[in-house]
Amino acid sequence: MQLTIRNLSKTYSNGVKALQDVSLDIPTGMYGLLGPNGAGKSTLMRTLATLQEADSGTATLGDIDVLKDKDAVRRALGYLPQEFGIYPRISAVDMLDHLATLKGIAGSQRKEVVSALLQRVNLWEHRKKAVSSYSGGMRQRFGIAQALIGDPKLIIVDEPTAGLDPGERNRFYNLLSEIGENVIVILSTHIVEDVKELCSNMAIINGGRVLFAGAPDLALQEMEGKIWEKSIAKSEVDEYQHKYKVISSKLVAGKPIIHILSDENPGEGFKAAAAGLEDVFFSKIMAA
Ligand code: ADP
């Protein structure tokens, strides 16, 4: 099964070009869609989830025409949106049972399906508590449980780790990577770490355009020998930003360490640095 997106475009009525000629081939496994806020990720996710229309282009999931055959997509889709909005005051087990009913799972199977999902996302002990009383991490795991109802072939997860603490994020990563083995999971995020940990393929988008698509390793190879780092004084940051293509700056023990992009050794005390996915991300966005 593959998701094939061709020349997808969307301009909102206020003139914002949220998607511009987006083409992607998304295979089985975890696929990272990485871009800063406003890049067009949610627009793409919502279009694939049949929640809004594109202006032009096509998308096919196996033999399903995603933009036309919405019912078939919905049967094959699990969607974890960025925000649920209001969390229900009813218990997780009752809520999942309700959602399973909506997805057309017969009464005789429902109890078993719901129990298996609650165990899978490690919420069995908390199944009788209201979802509204859950912590951020528990809500996200509940979100995954509801997205998995009915064995979806395509799972879309929009900005899932925002607001999770490191422990919760780790548990969530483990859960996602287990799921990602046999289905297509698209993980939309602005957090480079999410993609680095989980995804075998990825795309970087910004301004509605695809800036890179491929394996993270390939992106890293392209950067090899081009990243240079230097520890500088805070007061020098502006000067260096004028003089070099500074792609990132982070504080280490209170001192800025900058990464710059340069095909040649810039001298001036810069050292060669191993490229990280952050370097790929920022350099693609800067070059666009
Ligand atoms: P992301 O998910 O990457 O943050 P979005 O797809 O939400 O990006 O937004 C892409 C661009 O489209 C942004 O400039 C955003 O302000 C704009 N946008 C999103 N939704 C709407 C809408 N319903 N009407 C007008 N503009 C929108």
Domain co-membership, 166 together with 241: no
Ligand 1 pocket check for 42: Cβ under 6 Å: yes
Domain co-membership, 88 together with 44: yes
Which band of pLDDT confidence, cut at 50, 70 and 90, is reported for residue 272?
very high
Average the pLDDT over 208-220 and give the result: 93
Residues 229, 61: contact at Cβ < 8 Å? no
Q: How far is it, in rounded angstroms, from Cα 187 to Cα 155? A: 8
By alpha-carbon position, which residue is closest to atom 6 of ligand 1?
A: 40
Using the predicted structure, report yes or no on whether residue 277 has a pLDDT greater than 80: yes
By alpha-carbon position, which residue is closest to atom 7 of ligand 1?
A: 42
> How many Cβ atoms are within 10 Å of 99's Cβ, its own excluded?
17
Least confident of 93-102, 171-180, 234-243: 171-180
Residues 82, 42: contact at Cβ < 8 Å? yes
Using the predicted structure, report yes or no on whether residue 117 has a pLDDT greater than 70: yes
Q: Give the DSSP letter string of the chain.
A: --EEEEEEEEE-TTS-EEEEEEEEEE-SEEEEEE--TTSSHHHHHHHHTTSS--SEEEEEETTEETTT-HHHHHHHEEEE-S--SSPPSSBHHHHHHHHHHHTT--HHHHHHHHHHHHHHTT-GGGTTSBGGG--HHHHHHHHHHHHTTT--SEEEEESTTTT--HHHHHHHHHHHHHHTTTSEEEEEES-HHHHHHH-SEEEEEETTEEEEEE-HHHHHHHHTT-EEEEE--GGGHHHHHHHS-EEEEEEETTEEEEEEE-SS---TT-EE----HHHHHHHHHHH-
Using the predicted structure, report yes or no on whether residue 89 has a pLDDT greater than 90: no
Q: Compute, in angstroms, the gap from residue 25 CA to the centroid of ligand 1.
A: 23
- Smallest CA-to-CA distance from 254 within 236, 231, 275, 276 is with 231
Average the pLDDT over 47-68 and give the result: 96
What does pTM read for this prediction? Answer: 0.88
Instruction: For the chain, give the percent of residues with pLDDT over 70.
Output: 98
| Range picked from 17-26, 79-88, 171-180 for highest mean pLDDT | 17-26
Domain co-membership, 85 together with 131: yes
Domain co-membership, 206 together with 227: no
Last residue of a domain, one of 150, 180, 214: 214
Average the pLDDT over 111-136 and give the result: 93
Which band of pLDDT confidence, cut at 50, 70 and 90, is reported for residue 86?
low
Using the predicted structure, report yes or no on whether residue 26 has a pLDDT greater than 70: yes
By alpha-carbon position, which residue is closest to atom 21 of ligand 1?
A: 12
Average the pLDDT over 53-73 and give the result: 96
The enclosing domain of 75 has a CATH number of 3.40.50.300
Residues 144, 175: contact at Cβ < 8 Å? yes
Q: Compute, in angstroms, the gap from residue 186 CA to the centroid of ligand 1.
A: 18
Q: What angle do CA 211, 38, 206 make, to 5 degrees?
A: 5
Using the predicted structure, report yes or no on whether residue 84 has a pLDDT greater than 90: no
Quote the mean pLDDT of the chain.
91
Last residue of a domain, one of 174, 199, 214: 214
Residue 39 has φ and ψ, to the nearest 5°, of -70, -25
Expressed as residue numbers, the domain containing 130 is: 3-214
Domain co-membership, 179 together with 237: no
Using the predicted structure, report yes or no on whether residue 137 has a pLDDT greater than 70: yes
Domain count across the chain: 2
pLDDT digits (tens, 9 = 90+) for 164-212: 888 888 888 888 888 877 899 999 998 888 898 889 999 999 999 999 9
Per-residue confidence (pLDDT) for residue 177, from 0 to 100: 85
Domain co-membership, 71 together with 176: yes
